[in-house]
Structure 1
Amino acid sequence: MQTSQTILISGYRNYEIGVFQEKDPKIAVIKKSLKSSCIQLIEEGATWFLISGALGVEVWAAEVILELKQEYEVSLGVISAYTEFYAKWNEKNQQVIQTILEQADFVDAVSRKPYESPQQLKNHTQFLLTHTNGCLLLYDEEYPGKSQYLLADAKRYQLEHSYEILYITMDDLQNAAYSD
């Protein structure tokens, strides 16, 4: 990858990959893959990682970045699509995101209003793409999920801009599960 300063991280929501418990062994494998990819990106020049804070890969990535901050000069930004993005989450999930928000280096919302229309989501994606040099997606095109929309937008954006799209696939997770 070229020298990238800011990387967007996204991927599957927890329910899309059948993870419903904090102790699910899949989370450790996913975090292991995320950590390996993030370290490589840091070594290639990444200094900021952005997420929107969605449950699943983004929350796990935030936890990995916060852990990596102990060893590396990196920053975490959490930029939601609109205010009150997390308001309807259950108490346990709100506690998880609150812990991340308290430790993040930057927290904001693209829209200063609560959810009104899908346009806020489109504006959010556009903002994230224009404020990052590339994205790391835990995503496999054989197993579509909500991230397919971000991926489609990133591919369109890539047609006119220098923008890296990096993947962690199901095969990568399989390899991580069986490696030291």
Structure 2
Amino acid sequence: MKVLTVTGYKPMELNIFKEDDHRISFIKAAIKKRLISFIEEGLEWVLLSGQMGVEMWTGQVVLDLKETYDIKLALIPPFENQETRWPEPIQQAYQELTLTADFYKPLYVGDYKGAFQFKAKNKWLIDKSDGCLILMDEEFPGSGRFFHQETAGMEHYPVYLITPADLDDVVEELRMADPDYWT
């Protein structure tokens, strides 16, 4: 797999309302762990639409991984100015991603015109990638369900999930890696 799309929850779907919420570090660690395994198997590009939450956190993880691995980041939002209604700190983080991504181009020119843009964005990302990674609990899928539904029945499009159990494993790994845990 050379090209992977990553998506998942928006922060409010996880009850995360501050950029310094400690749970974000666990989510990023889980994403990093999965991305490294894909990179070691030949992954070259990560595609994101840049939505706040999992996608932006993934973008930040990819930028960190670029220091060690040969990986590229493409940011393809569904339309221009998607961040205008977001909180200011998230807007700033999004702008930073747009400037540092290896490729950035909105799918539609102009501002939001309708829900069709999100559906088209999902289809485009699926068409341009070899598989996807979704942070999602299938019992409570949140907004990631739309992307997941779009992949339903696609035999040659692998869908990988980061589940709540995966997040629990990462939290435990990080706790056990802390020397203070053992004292």
TM norm structure 2: 0.92
Pairing 1:19–2:13 present: no
CA separation in 2, counterparts of 1:25 and 1:121? Answer: 30
| Alpha-carbon shift at residue 29 of structure 1 (Å) | 0.6
Q: What residue ranges of structure 1 are gaps of 5+ in the alignment?
A: none
1:123-171 CA distance string (max 9 Å, x none): 1111100000000011110122001011000124x14xx1110010000
Query: Which among 157, 167, 170 is matched to residue 163 of structure 1?
Result: 157
Match of 1:66 in 2: 63
Q: Secondary structure at the match of 2:78?
A: strand
Structure 1 segments, 4+ long, off by >3 Å, are none
CA separation in 2, counterparts of 1:24 and 1:147? Answer: 21
Pairing 1:36–2:30 present: no
CA separation in 1, counterparts of 2:158 and 2:141? Answer: 20
CA separation in 2, counterparts of 1:38 and 1:91? Answer: 28
1:70-124 CA distance string (max 9 Å, x none): 0000000110011121122232211110111111000111111321122111111
Query: Which among 154, 158, 177 is matched to residue 171 of structure 2?
Result: 177
Q: What residue ranges of structure 2 are gaps of 5+ in the alignment?
A: 178-183
Letter in 2 for 1:117: G
CA RMSD across the alignment: 1.0
TM norm structure 1: 0.93
| Alpha-carbon shift at residue 21 of structure 1 (Å) | 1.5
Percent identity over paired residues: 32
How many corresponding residue pairs?
174
Letter in 2 for 1:173: L
CA separation in 2, counterparts of 1:98 and 1:116? Answer: 21
| More strand per residue | 1
